[in-house]
Amino acid sequence: MRIPSWLKVLMTIAILAVVLWHVPVEKLLAAARSAELVWFFPAAATTLVMLFFRHFKWHRLLRAAGLPVSQTDSLRSLLCGFALSVPTPGRVGELGRCLFLPEGMRSQVFQLNILERALDGWAVFTYAVLSLLIIQFKPAGVFALAVWLAVLPVFMGLPGLLASLSEWKVWRGAARVHLREGAKALMRVRSAPFAGLGLLTTSLDVLIFYFLLQAFHQTDLAVVVITFPWMILAGGLPIAVGGIGLREGAAALLLARQAVPAAAGMDAALLLFVFSAISPAICGALWMAARRWQGGSLANPRLESATPDAQGNN
Burial code (b: 16+ CB inside 10 Å, e: under 16) for 84-118 equals bbbebbbbebbbbbbbbbbeebbbbbbbbbbbbbb
3-state helix, strand, coil in the chain (%, to 5): 80, 0, 20
Complete DSSP assignment for 96-148: GGGGGS-GGGHHHHHHHHHHHHHHHHHHHHHHHHHHHHHTT-HHHHHHHHHHH
Q: How confident is the model at residue 29 (pLDDT cuts 50, 70, 90)?
A: confident
Flag the least confident range among 1-10, 74-83, 254-263, 291-300: 1-10
Cβ neighbour number for residue 21 with a 10 Å cutoff: 8
pTM: 0.85
Q: Which of 126-140, 141-155, 231-245 has the highest mean pLDDT?
A: 141-155
**Tens digit of pLDDT for each residue in 119-131?**
999 999 999 999 9
Identity (one letter) of the amino acid at 200? L
Residue 47 scores a pLDDT above 90: yes
Q: What is the pLDDT of residue 238?
A: 76
Flag the least confident range among 81-90, 279-288, 289-298: 289-298
